[in-house]
Amino acid sequence: MALDRWIALLILGVCLVYGYTAFFTMDEGLAPFMRRNPIWPSTFPKVLSVLAIVASLVILLGFEKSDAGPAEGAIDYRRLGDYKIGQAIALLLFMVAYALLLRPAGFVISTVAFLTCSAVLLGERRFLYLVPISLLAAGIIWYLVQGVLGIFLRPLPFFLG
C-alpha cells in the first residue's frame, strides 16, 4: 500500500475517534436550555469529522487516482530522505511551543514569534516585511477575537498588563 493510503488510514482512525467523541460524548454535559439550540458546541466537530472521514475514505479507496499512472507530485516512501523532514519536524515543534507559550507569553507576543520563526524556517529572509506583517496579523486576529467576538484573549504576558 502506498504512503498516501497509510496516512489516510491513520487519519481515518483519528477521525473515527474524534467523530465518536463529537457525536456521543460532547453533548452530555450541556445545560438543558442549550439542548434546544439549533447549533450546539459539537456541531462543528461533527461536520469536521464526517468530512475528514469521507476525504480519508476517498484516498484510502483510491477514488482520487487517475488511470494515467503515478502522479508527478506523489510521495515516494523509498526516498523519504530526499524530502525536508527536518523542516517539517521543526515546524511541528514550533506549533507545540506556540501552544505552550500562548498563555504565559500572551497572544500577540507568542503569535508574532511563531509566525516570524516559522517563516524564517521556511526560507523567508526579508525581515523588513516579515515582522510588521506578523505584528499586523496578530493584532487583527486579536482584535477580531477580543473586540468583535467578545472572547477574552490575553494580548500580553500577565506581568505586563
Show me where the domains of the chain are located: 3-82, 85-148
How many degrees, rounded to 5, is the angle at CA 150 between CA 144 and CA 156? Answer: 70
Top pLDDT among 45 and 28 is at 45
CA distance 73 to 64: 14
Task: Please give the mean pLDDT across all residues of the chain.
Answer: 84
* φ/ψ (deg, to 5) at 67: -85, 0
Residue 78: pLDDT above 80? Answer: no
- From residue 46, alpha-carbon distances to 14, 18, 24, 69 in Å are 13, 8, 10, 35
Averaging pLDDT over each range in 16-20, 22-26, 147-151, which range is the top one? 16-20
Q: Give mean pLDDT, residues 99-125.
A: 91
Residue 79: pLDDT above 60? Answer: yes
